[in-house]
Chains A and B, each alone.
Chain A
Amino acid sequence: MPADPNPASPSSLPCPGCAAELKVAALAELLWVCPACGYHFPLAARQRLEQIADRGSFAEWDPGVGSRDLLGFVDRIPYHERLRLARERTGLREAVLTGAAKIGGYAVAVGVFDFRFMGGSMGCAVGEKLARLFGRAAARGLPVLLVVASGGARMQEGCYALMQMGKVTAAAVSFKRGNLPYVALLTNPTTGGVAASIAYQADLVLAEPGAVIGFAGKRVIEDTIKMRLPAGAQRAEALQERGFVDIVVPRPQVAPMLARLFGLLGAGEQGGPGPQAAKGEDDGSGAAEDGDRF
């Protein structure tokens, strides 16, 4: 579990990458990248948005959508209790934050996973928020940016969670019938059913340096092959060499890179007319109306 980027406010903390003692105030200025070794600290979804979206441009969609305990799932802790704790701890209702934003002046539909919320896992609410994100993006002619940090499907929702892989695939393929780009930024970690569906259905795959990206986790692979995984085997840099990442982008360059990409790929400054833009708008604050989806 990565360190909480906002622990109970000590003034300094050790870098997990090189153990250097780092001043928190200075780290925030550096976008939470270690100045000594380049380690990228995990970010909360809102921190990420503050870093990449133009100031004050983010308008959240579907903040009320949340999962519930469909199966009465109890492991060491009941699922409803895990949900309550995650909500309390993060101030979020679910593991993904979605909405409209501007990046370098370009209007985009953006989704950001928050790994602190049950490992960024995808249950029914995450599936629904992503489906609405892609649907609304298509309706308004906006490109999509998805910033991923997820361990995969949410086990506590059983087969419902598995089926969310099908649901988000349906959303992505519907969106990709239009001529707007879908860009994914994979951050540490991007694994399991989220990696094997929505993350790898993107037109372009960007990744942060050192991000672990894969289908299976390290421990599962090592148990399978009965040997240690070579160092860095699942890191963004290795995946880029093997052809599974377009660009490894250090955090300070993420926002400018996205702006350049959206410019080159033809995003409109006002969220220009996409192929289905005539289908209608909503105020972006509440539930999607039927006509606003595909």
Chain B
Amino acid sequence: MGVAQPKTGTDSEPQAEVPAAGWRKVAAARHPRRPRCSDFIAALFSDFIELRGDRCYRDDPAIVGGVGRFEGHSLVVLGHEKGREAKERVSRNFGMPFPEGYRKACRLMGLAQRLGLGVLALIDTPGAYPGLGAEQRGQMQAIARSLEVMLTLEVPTVAVVIGEGGSGGALALGLADRVLMLENATYSVISPEGCASILWHDPAKAGEAAAALRLGAWELAQEGLIDEVVEEPEGGAHVCAAATFASLARALARHFSEIRRWNPRARVAKRLARFLACGRYEEAELAG
């Protein structure tokens, strides 16, 4: 898989620069004018119909889903939606889904499976919502289930981290045949603030945490945890959204045309093998 090399800097900046560099990535991924999931859907799809509700409890506006046409193919689209204006941001819970959001995603992935449609997932969330109602309705079970459903789809799947890839709530839509990241997106096991608060006992160390977590797109591509970095215009996706959309559309067309050729059973085996191979560890020879 051709992964382009980082254009700038590596990890060997002088010590004092490290927290600042780490934080710049986080700030870019969270930029208030960064294109949102709905903007990508509007730009990438020639027709899109939103489908709502988990058929159990309610519709969760933090995850949008529906069917649309991309390059002549119908796809099921899922994505975290943070919203733009203050009121919409609140109604979308700042892109932090409740369990019903993941259950809607599972329902729509099931639809894709039955109708043989590919799935595109656009990831942009600080994380799954850590509130009381979310807990009471089984946030952990909803995420665990979404991971299972997505991993076993026999249809072609691509996930793209377009902004913030915040821990399990992001990964729940991320177990795809191909995983891409926009250049200024981040993908992390925990928010830098949460990490700083737990490990440093000081939320003000979020810059240090961001640098230590190596959450940038180029870093993750180097580790082999994602397949491709999709370049953004100089200054970030919001500077020229049209160029960002075009750049992603090209990458998506290429990946979908490649993975569409896999046969369905081999596809699941391949996807399972990909995620089973994730990780590096050591193995000591122990006596006895």
Chain A residues in the interface with B (C-beta under 8 A): 62-68, 70-71, 73-76, 93, 123-125, 127-128, 131, 153-167, 169-174, 191-193, 195-201, 213-216, 220-221, 224-225, 229-230, 233-234, 242-244, 287, 293-294
Contact = CB atoms under 8 A, between A and B. Distances in A.
Given A160-B278, A163-B279, A170-B275, A216 B135 contact: yes
Contacts of A131: 276
B38 to A, nearest CB: 25
17 contacts: A63-B286, A64-B284, A64-B286, A66-B281, A67-B281, A124-B281, A127-B278, A128-B279, A158-B215, A159-B187, A159-B225, A160-B223, A166-B171, A169-B151, A173-B148, A173-B152, A173-B272
Interface in B120-177: 128-132, 134-141, 143-145, 147-148, 151-152, 167-168, 171-172, 174-175
Contacts of A192: 168
B135 A193 contact: no
A234 to B, nearest CB: 6
Nearest to B276: A170
Contact of B280 (A70, A159, A191, A198): A70
Contact of A163 (B140, B275, B282): B275
Looking at A63, A174, A199, the one whose CB has the most chain B CB atoms below 10 A away is: A174
Contact of A66 (B199, B271, B284): B284
Contacts of A197: 143-144, 147, 168
B281 A75 contact: no
Top-4 shortest CB links A-B:
A216-B130, A124-B279, A200-B144, A75-B199
Contacts of B138: 200, 242-244
Nearest to B138: A244
Looking at B194, B223, B279, the one whose CB has the most chain A CB atoms below 10 A away is: B279
Given A73-B212, A224-B129, 5 more contacts: A160-B223, A214-B139, A224-B131, A233-B135, A294-B272
Contacts of A164: 278-279
Interface residues of B, number: 59
A174 B272 contact: yes
A165 B135 contact: no
Contacts of B129: 224
B200 interface: yes
A230 B225 CA distance: 40
Contacts of B286: 63-64
A61 to B, nearest CB: 12
B69 interface: no
B113 interface: no
B283 interface: yes
A215 to B, nearest CB: 4
Given A158-B189, A173-B272, A229-B132, A199 B144 contact: yes
Interface string B258-281: 000000000000011101101111
Contacts of B137: 242
B184 interface: no
A215 B223 contact: no
